[in-house]
Structure 1
Amino acid sequence: MKKTATFIIAATISTSVFAKSKTETAGDIGQFALPLTALAIAWSKDDNLGMWELTKGFAITQGITHTTKFLIDAERPNGSNFDSFPSGHTAAAFSGAAFLHHRYGLSYGLPAYIASSYVGYSRVYGQKHWSSDVLVGAVLAYTVSYAVTTKFAPNNFSVTPTNFGRSDTQGILFNLSF
């Protein structure tokens, strides 16, 4: 299980680590480092279920992120290509941070959230993403982790396909009851 989880996370994190500034390089590395750090922590605790939940949450987040990039086709601030929305780097980093928070508590999550926020900042700084791209990547990763992580996975959270009462409109409804 440990080798499988490591391989799946390492194989699905896909980006170049060639950047123009130290800030961009730190962001490129951070998107790898945060989920792998979360995996190492789960591994060190011999938490096979946690490793599976991290892997599942990461894969779902990246699947939604890259599908959305393809469907939205938003231009980057620097005009380089049309896959700006949402930020994959930020979603990857926040997958690790949110998992640590939801599985092991805020003492693990807070430092990871700070590092993940820097990854998001690096993407805006490097003109690879708009602030909204970064925010959506972070919220997406947090939400998926919240839904799939056992320790704090709520019974009051649901994801439902919907047409909002119209035949020409489709979407996904996220519902969280307090």
Structure 2
Amino acid sequence: MEKWSIIFVCACFFITIACCSQDTEGGHEKWEYVLEDTGDVLQLALPLTAGLMTLINRDYKGTKKLAFSYGTTMALTYSLKHFTKKERPEGRKLYDSFPSGHTSSAFSGASFIQRRYGWSYGVPAYLLASLVAVSRTEAPDGYHDFWDVFAGAAIGIGSTYIFTKPYQKEQMSLGFSTYQNTYSLSFLYKF
């Protein structure tokens, strides 16, 4: 899997959203709606990409670790929303602002990609997750403030680091050595 494939897939989503984006209304520019729609797509695209990466690499332990970390992220996010009851900044009298669910979902996927498969995949994934965070504060309605998206990112990254370790292909090696009239055969299995 090429490291830039993540960017290519997300760019296709962005182009599709840009073409189908809502018209301007209420004094907002079209790019604000494109940004909001992009955040909506990427919040799910990043964790799905992480899951696809585990399946493509036949990393079934990684699939399990992703399920635990993503499940923890979402459970903690929605529990905090329920208990904190922070009002959303756009003024609709909704009390579920803290933390941002979109941001925690995106950063959970991005941090899993980085933690499991390295920074060459992680950098583009984190850039896309950061775009989701920006979309939650700068979209037409401004659904969240800085602390909401910061907490969402921290929850997503933190839960990933609790459950996930870097990916190593299972490796076996067979060795043979002789010393004087003694022969030895060694078998090493790395997991």
1:103 aligns with 2:130: no
User: What is the match of residue 121 of structure 1?
Assistant: 134
1:40 to 41, 52, 58: 52
**TM-score, normalised by the number of residues in structure 1:** 0.73
Is the partner of 1:57 in helix, strand or coil? helix
Which of 56, 63, 67 lines up with 1:55 in the alignment?
A: 67
Alignment partner of 2:82 out of 70, 78, 102 = 70
How do 1:10-49 residues align onto structure 2 when only pairs under 5 Å count?
21-49=33-61
Distance 2:136 2:65 in 1: 27
Does the aligned pair in 1 maintain the 2:85–2:95 contact within 8 Å?
A: yes
1:137 maps to a residue whose letter is G
Equivalent residue for 1:134, pick from 146, 149, 156? 149
CA displacement at 1:55 relative to structure 2: 1.0
Aligned length in residues: 135
Alignment identity in percent? 40
Amino acid across the alignment from 1:106: W
Deviation for aligned residue 1:150: 2.5
Q: Which residue of 2 aligns with 1:157?
A: none
Shift of 1:52: 0.8
Q: Deviation at 1:151?
A: 2.4
Q: In structure 2, what is the Cα distance between the partners aligned to 1:151 and 1:112?
A: 16
Compute the TM-score of the two structures, normalised by the length of structure 2: 0.68
Question: How far 1:79 moved relative to its partner?
Answer: 1.7
Max Rg structure: 2
Structure 1: 5+ residue stretches without partners: 1-18, 153-178
Aligned mates of 1:128, 1:59 — CA distance in 2 = 23
CA-based RMSD of the aligned residues comes to 1.6
